[in-house]
Chains A and B, each alone.
Chain A
Amino acid sequence: MLSNTKLFSNETSRRKFVRAGLLAVATAPAIAAWPALAQQNSEQQITAQLSAPEFTGPEPNPFWNSVGPLVTQPQKSPLILLTDRPVQLETPRQYFLNAFTPNEAFYVRWHLETLPNAIDLKQWRLRVDGNVEKSIEFSLPELFTRFQPVSVAAVNQCSGNSRSRFQPRVPGGQWGNGAMGNALWTGVKLRDVLNAAKLKTGSVQIQFEGLDRGKGPEGNGSNRFLKSLDLNNPVTDEVILAYAMNNKPLPLLNGFPLRAVVPGYFATYWLKSLTSIRILDKTDDNFWMKSGYRVPDTPRGSTTPDEFKTGKVPTVPISKIPVRSFLISPDGLDKIPAGFPLQLQGIAFSGNGGIKKVEVSDDNGKNWREAHLGDDLGPYSFRIWQFAWAPKHPGKYQIAVRATDGIGNIQPDEGVWNPGGYLWNKIERQEIVIGDAA
């Protein structure tokens, strides 16, 4: 502990400090005795600094992001901690003010604890094998030069984004809304690589493998993370094996040196630190396809806990991202003076043909007005929206935002429930407090 002599260079300044303190103490009761003023200052007394709670529940998480502390990891800005081993980090809300999410702020989600710390590019190869005429391997420079590079702006959203909204709550990573990001991905087309290997007849699926590995027994879901796509799925023609993210190498935690980019699909298929593409002649029955990342084969992938317990709810592998939109600014943390010319701004996205329309309501969803859409960066990207709003009267306003996607899906005002905590896309709301200004 610091002693007084260290705090104050000389006796005079210490005396001055004490005098100021006494003055403050003497003045305080006088201000407090002015009741009108004391009440006008604030309805709630602002005292100590408030911190987010350590957990939320059993009610839904009421915050935009998850509640963990901000922490650092290699190549990353401070992000919100979900788990440290394996690593799961959430992107704070303010990073979504831009259409592209910076690499250093991009969320992180690994499944198994033996994820890579270092890649030796002398050793690293992308191998294509399985049901092919000839197995081939590519070094990273070979991928740079042998194929025509392509780029796509695409949203990478975790299947469990917003899981902490579920009611009743489900176990799993308790993500708020920040398990998503948008980047410009550049690399080679999967089709070009497959053509180089020449697929044999009877090929049905493409299985991706990366360095998301654990200590579990061989053949078990805890040993390696594997995901597959149907060869005849149209998305297969859209898949890019990306070596660049926003024109830079990927951070290791986001899948350096190469990751699968599956535009419009949830991130579970976007394998990180890709090492192998295996052509299968039958449907993949590994844990991560047969049991993990499945959703009820029902409208919006929704069911109820009781229905699910019967064991009769059929499930399918999760696939496309349903339409979502968010208000990013203002974020409700600051009081705004009545009449202030606000520009509400946020993002919208969908795995189904991009965004056609975004609407805003300032009365909790009763009346809707159309927002202005920003640049169209392609059907798989975040679309920025803006809406001019200058509320004249003090009050607490419930701002709601809903988007309509390219095939006419409108965000619904009902949540979903499924045991995995997937596919949340309910209309989002944000309370904005407008204060008296004159």
Chain B
Amino acid sequence: MKTYKYLEVALVIGAIGTGTAVYAQHKTGQYEAGSSGKITQPLAQPLSTDSSYDEGPLLTYRPTLAPGDGRQEVEVYCNTCHSSIYITMQPPLPADTWAAEVTKMRKTFGADFPDEIANKVVRYLQANYTPDTRKH
């Protein structure tokens, strides 16, 4: 009988122990500052009853190009027809692919800039956006 009593006590202690353990597995009340930014809700535009269906300006989200020689030329020349996000969106591409892209922009799409600028742009892209060179 006495033995059973000890066992009961042991079980109760054990149960308390387990209960504590389970409770301690929960985490509560932890916070940290959000770092992914936030998107402000756009306000509805005032609407007129005339025949113009106007959504207003489109919004630009400028990427940060890698610093380095040729960046300014990219900002000036490539940005004429498209945002330089067309560069940062790409996966790291082989050096000859970047050369071919710049040739396509000039020969196929008629981007009007001299050889020396084109060479500088190609060198910049190769120095910053290939599998070996891309850092961010």
**Chain A interface (Cβ < 8 Å from any Cβ of B):** 31, 34, 37, 40-41, 48-49, 51, 54-58, 61, 68-75, 78, 81-87, 112-113, 115, 117-123, 164, 169, 171, 173-174, 214-217, 220-222, 249, 251-253, 256-257, 287, 291
Contact = CB atoms under 8 A, between A and B. Distances in A.
A134 to B, nearest CB: 26
A214 to B, nearest CB: 6
B89 A55 contact: yes
What are the 7 A-B residue pairs with the smallest beta carbon separation, nearest first? A57-B91, A118-B54, A74-B55, A222-B109, A85-B83, A122-B51, A169-B91
Given A55-B89, A171-B97, A216 B55 contact: no
Contacts of A112: 81
Contacts of A58: 91-92, 131
Contacts of A216: 81, 109-111
Q: B interface, by DSSP: helix, strand, loop or mixed?
A: loop
B39 A74 contact: no
B35 A85 contact: no
Q: How large is the interface on B (under 10, 10 to 19, 20 to 34, 35 or more residues)?
A: 35 or more
8 contacts: A37-B25, A48-B35, A73-B58, A81-B61, A81-B85, A83-B86, A119-B53, A169-B91
Interface in B77-97: 80-83, 85-86, 88-93, 97
A252 B55 contact: yes
Contacts of A117: 54-58
Contacts of B40: 72
Contacts of B45: 74
A55 B110 CA distance: 28
Contacts of B62: 84
Contacts of B32: 48-49
A82 B92 CA distance: 16
B36 A222 contact: no
Contacts of A84: 58-62, 83, 85
